[in-house]
Structure 1
Amino acid sequence: MKLLDKLDVIQLEIIVLAKLEEEIESQQEEIYEEREIVSQSWLQEQTQLLKFQESISDGLTYMITQLIEGRVELTEEIDQFGLDIHDLKARLNKTIEASEFQLSIVVDEDQLVEQKEEFQPFNYTLFLNIDV
């Protein structure tokens, strides 16, 4: 009987070990599946991050292009503004010169009028003296 008891114990141990082995395999499969899920999730996250970085890079490239084009346009506008200022200054100087010239003509006419007024009474007086 001892042998049969030992055989039963050994069979029981084999059954227990088999169940333990199944449980260990099941846990290993779960761990493997979890790792695979985590791995796939990590790959998806990395893919999304790469897409996001590419999007940001594209946006920055577009913004830089716009800034460069804007800078060129602004430089052109500033140059044109400088030319416009120069033209306005030239016009203003011509207007000032013309105004000064007209002012001197007006002054000359006023002087002529004054001289004429001074001369006419003298002529009258002279004319009157001659007639008398």
Structure 2
Amino acid sequence: MTYLFIYGTLMPGLRLEAEMHGARFVGPAQVPGRLFDLGRYPGLLPGDGHVTGEVYEVDDAHLARLDGVEGVVPGDRAESHYWREVVPVASGPLQGQPVQTYVYNRPVDGCTPIPHGDYRRYIREVGRES
């Protein structure tokens, strides 16, 4: 089993929430990083700040399916849309523990930063459905 931090359209109430069915909710959390509006979804990059989301426990088969959803090309980071990386939990039930998350693997030039790092809050603020 793997702890996975999600922060965008995979979260409950958002467009891809069905992809998380079968995962066990662990709790809300924040991880270090910066969040960007990429259009129909957000992207997390390493950096100063915190990104708000949720941690789930997923099995290997579920993780492999999510990799497909997120555009991970196994063994080929250069071709991957996102890449799964280990980050520390900054706050939440697993504070201080490592979890995996999907880090955006493309340039963000021209993309809008989400300064507070909370995608749900952001889409409410800009009046967008996700």
Same fold judged by TM-score > 0.5?
A: no
TM, length-normalised to structure 2: 0.12
TM, length-normalised to structure 1: 0.11
Max Rg structure = 1
Larger RCO (CA within 8 A; separation ≥ 6)? 2
Of Structure 1 and Structure 2, the greater helix share is in 1
